Amino acid sequence: MAVNGVLVSEMGMRVDPRTAVIHVDGARINVRDDLVYLALNKPRGVLSAMSDDRGRPTVGDLVADRSERLFHVGRLDGDTEGLLLLTNDGELAHRLMHPSFGIAKTYLATVPAPVHKEVARRLLAGVELEDGPVQVDAFRIVQTHGERAIVEVVLHEGRNHIVRRLLAEVGHPVQRLVRTAVGPVRLGGQRVGTLRELSREELSELHRLVDKPL
């Protein structure tokens, strides 16, 4: 075990849980019981905001019964469904959103079929949008069914409407968009509108990804 970067072997050492950074077998563990880390499967039609002065539904409504002051880690469009992380750990939220860490985000998009191989080649070569190039980390066609295809796109950036703009640029305007993973955290079979706590493994993996000076 390491406390604040110093290896510790004695038993019963006292630490301040509000400030101590503790690693066990190299993985950071959460010793603050006031910090919460949640995965939400955001429904379509719900804003990535904690409140809305025009009274539209927000993720704040979905966590209204929780006492912590939660932040959403980044945003999904109102029309986009899927994984949104929520936490009251402002430092981790800030790091996860910071472009220098380039956390990978995975999306499933429903688009008009057929999607030709050329599209994958163009995407992986990098597409120029009006506000600069987008680098696509991975792309695959998951399935084609009649006039629609489902494609998976992995990106490590978070400009506004980036997946919709990217796929429209290569001729495949998005009909439905779901975020299925943020770094090591996967949506899996989590039901729409529900919350779950991140596992210890997910949390230490997230910490590991952003464990460098900013």
Return the range that interacts with ligand URA (CB under 6 A); candidates 7-15, 75-83, 193-201, 204-212. 75-83
> What separation in angstroms does the CA of 79 have from each of 45, 47, 139, 177, 178?
5, 8, 21, 8, 9
Q: Compare residues 73 and 162 and give the one whose CB is closer to ligand URA.
A: 162
Interface pick for ligand URA out of 93, 111, 134, 163 (rule CB under 6 A):
163
Smallest distance from ligand URA to CB 206, Å:
19
| Cα–Cα dist 193/136, whole Å | 28
Examine residue 73 and tell whether it contacts ligand URA (CB under 6 A): no
Residue 137 among the catalytic residues: no
Residues 78-137 that bind ligand URA (CB under 6 A): 80
Give the span between the Cα atoms of 66 and 92, in whole angstroms.
19
The stretch among 1-9, 13-21, 159-167, 180-188 that binds ligand URA (CB under 6 A) is 159-167
**Which of residues 62, 70, 93, 162 is near ligand URA by CB under 6 A?**
162
Q: Which residue in 44, 122, 156, 164 binds ligand URA (CB under 6 A)?
A: 164
| Whether the bond into 99 is cis, omega within 30 of 0 | no
Judged by beta carbon, residue 122 or residue 164, the one nearer ligand URA is 164
| The one catalytic residue among 34, 53, 77, 137 | 77
Using CB under 6 A, pick the residue from 77, 152, 169, 205 that binds ligand URA: 77
Check residue 161 for interaction with ligand URA (CB under 6 A): yes
Write down how long the chain is.
214
Q: Is the backbone of residue 22 left (phi > 0), alpha (psi -120 to 50) or beta?
A: beta
Contact yes or no for 179/188 (Cβ under 8 A): no
Neighbours of 184 (CB within 10 A): 17
Pair 35, 71: CB distance under 8 Å: no
If binding is defined by CB under 6 A, does position 62 make contact with ligand URA?
no
Secondary structure (3-state) at 133: strand
Catalytic residues: 77
Binding site for ligand URA (CB under 6 A): 76-77, 80, 161-164, 177
